[in-house]
Amino acid sequence: MANQLIKPPNNFTKSLKNLYFIASNLQSMTTSKRVQDRSQKKRVHALEVAVEKHKIASKILFLLELLKHEPEQIIPIRSLDQHRRPLNLPKPHKISDFIRKSPKLFELYKDQKGITWVGLTKKGEELIEEEERLIAENEEKAVEHVTRLLMMSVEKTLPLDKIAHFRRDLGLPYDFRKHWVHKYPEIFRVFKNEDEIEFLKLVSWNPNWCITEVEKKVLGITKADDYTPGVLSLPFPMKFPPDYKKVYRYKGQIENFQKREYFSPYADAKELKAGSVEFDKRAIAVMHEVLSFMNEKRLVTDHLTHFRREFVMPQKLMRILLKHFGIFYVSERGKRFSVFLTEAYEGSELIEKCPLVVWKEKVVSLTGYRGRKKKIETFDDFDDLEDDDLFESDSDDEKTIRIDQEDDMMSSDVEDDLIPECSEMDISEVQKAYTEK
């Protein structure tokens, strides 16, 4: 019976599948751990301070906007319990204690039934009116930036739900999907696909708006009616932390990277090969352009990754952001990664502040809430970077652009403006998996 086949156990196939599943997840977690470790090694104290300021502002602005859209601009404090996630105030933290730290913006009072309500102070109401005025004054610039996002997209079309992620960053009005997008039919228009999903589509191409921010800064070009986007070889502005001592080690690689040609973000990128050096450098140009449009020259990274397909960018976008630390700075503090355009900051402060940023800082100055004290690690001198692949392609020679299915399912019936900023790019489970080892 030596030649008789040995029958595998009944659960052999299932066990094999489980083994494959475990191996795949280990590989995925290893990648996540590497990204996490590398970002921790590259902390820049001043920009980490900026992240903490933004987190404080997000809580206050969320509550202001919530009250703004209440019929009487008041709400029972117990109703705020369902908003703990966007406020990032998990139990046992008391929402009332958080509100009491901003008496210039919010006021608490009890009705005859003993129910505690929260409302806006006179100053709070004035600030909301001021923001509305500033958004109206910013409208022309917002139209330009939204149009340029459409011009960079491969199909000149973007889902409205995804544009909504940039609503505050671009200075768009709260109800931009209902009214604002229909005010400029000569520039863009709204349509629905077969699944009733709303998209914004470019109607007219503006040559003056396809001049990149790098071209404006390096060449001084601001207008060109007959401009056609094509191949560029302009260097990106770079800014390294003051205590970064190894820039000389990578000087040659940085120079080679800066001299390398790349396609303009507004040029047709359909034929670019995923995984090529040209493909990755164009992605850097796209991210630089997008961040340049934002009021604070920063974004949460998942807002960028949602546009991988539309902007023809690599799957491993995070690795590119981390690697090009002279152009971008990535912070992993909190539940989401944030990315900054380093050239736009001096220390923790924006160099050029638009009126909406000044308004936001005014709001924060009127609150006594300063968040929880956290130690910000000092900057490490990038010991974990691999010299061999710095500033090289990071796409692992991908032949196709893979888009995570969940990226395309981020749309929700919930108004995006009230989607908690801390709900996306949740890395707490990954962190927990490693700290519990």
The answer to whether 146 and 184 are in contact (CB under 8 A) is: no
Is the per-residue pLDDT at 117 higher than 60?
A: yes
Identify which has the larger pLDDT, 184 or 301.
Answer: 184
Do residues 42 and 321 make contact, with C-beta atoms less than 8 angstroms apart?
no
Query: Confidence class of residue 415 from pLDDT cuts 50, 70 and 90?
Result: very low
% of the chain at pLDDT higher than 90: 38
At 63, the pLDDT band (50, 70, 90 cuts) reads very high
Residue 434 pLDDT > 50: no
Mean pLDDT of the chain: 77
- At residue 202, the pLDDT reads 97
pLDDT of residue 413: 28
What are the C-alpha distances in Å from 359 to residues 27, 127, 270?
45, 8, 41
Who has greater pLDDT, 376 or 359?
359
Q: Pick the range with the lowest mean pLDDT from 70-79, 308-317, 397-406.
A: 397-406
pLDDT of residue 268: 87
Q: How confident is the model at residue 46 (pLDDT cuts 50, 70, 90)?
A: confident
**Six-digit token string for 239:** 């800014």
The predicted structure's pLDDT at residue 62: 92
pLDDT range class, residue 287, cuts 50, 70, 90: very high
Higher pLDDT, 364 or 221: 364
Do 51 and 338 form a contact (C-beta atoms < 8 A)? Answer: yes
| pLDDT at residue number 367 | 87
Which tokens in the block code for residue 66?
A: 């919530």
Unique residue bearing structure tokens 């080690």: 249
Residue 390, CB half-sphere, CA atoms under 13 Å: how many? 20
| Least confident segment among 142-151, 155-164, 326-335, 342-351 | 326-335
The pLDDT of residue 37: 56
pLDDT band at 251 (very low <50, low <70, confident <90, very high): confident
Q: pLDDT digits over 306-350, tens only? A: 888 899 888 888 888 888 888 999 988 766 788 999 999 998 899
Contacts of residue 62, defined as CB under 8 A and 6 or more positions apart, other chains included, come to 83, 86, 87, 418, 420, 421
Q: Is the pLDDT of residue 392 over 60?
A: no
**pTM greater than 0.85:** no
pLDDT range class, residue 236, cuts 50, 70, 90: very high
Q: What is the mean pLDDT of residues 389-403?
A: 42
Among 280, 300, 279, smallest CA distance to 290 is for 300
Q: How do residues 6-24 score in pLDDT, each as one tens digit?
A: 444 555 444 444 444 434 4
